[in-house]
Structure 1
Amino acid sequence: MIWGLVQILLFQSIGELASKFIFPTLPGPVIGLVLLIAWLVIRKGVNADLAMIADGFSQYFGLLFVPAAVGVVLFLPELKANALAIICALLVSIVLTIATSALVVRYLSPKSQSKPQAEELP
């Protein structure tokens, strides 16, 4: 279990260092996550310790939305004043996300090699 936590903290630390010295515009945790995913792809799997820690973290993801909710309440007057623009932006982004996801799935899905043949008339 400790080894799983060490792996997560190690990759986050590497990401922070890379963010500080190499990629200053990218957040360190994002770089660390990309490096961790690359490491897991190279190893072709997740070890039991890392899986246990990840499962433990995922139980508390809801707590990460509390500061965002407080921020929404804090800026409620501005949100009411710009409600139409916000709703339009949300609708456009939802449509674009669905369309992009559909194109990616279509591109990455296996292609069928055989075409159905038309029935022959006697």
Structure 2
Amino acid sequence: MSDFDQMGIIVDWVDACRKGDLAMLLDLYTDDAQVECSCNGTRRYRGRRELETYWGPRLSAYSSAGFGLEEINPVPFGIDLEYSVAGSLRIHASFRFSPEGKIRSTLCGPALQEPHAGCAC
């Protein structure tokens, strides 16, 4: 069991997304963190520079379209999160952490969608 607040880190992650604060978001990740996104084909991003390339345009879209927390649950070895963009587009993300209390990896993909929705993660 970790000695840091995984749920609190993800709440900070949600706050950074809502504010469109890229620096705050990137500071939550380890320097060699990885994001694997399967929304539009599977793509992997590793390290701060690639995460910045991945998150920059998304945060801009999220903050203008609206970012909502749908579900947040502790799971073995991390946290699972479901969030929405523009009130209906739902994305599932699984987070794993380093022993130092930073996000080591994120795996995201489409959650259960309304028939007319797509994925913007």
> Per the shorter chain, which TM-score range?
under 0.3
TM-score for the superposition, normalised by structure 2 = 0.22
Q: Indicate the structure whose relative CO is greater, using CA pairs within 8 Å and at least 6 residues apart.
A: 2
| Larger Rg computed on CA atoms | 1
- Bigger share in strand: 2
The structure that is helix-richer by fraction is 1
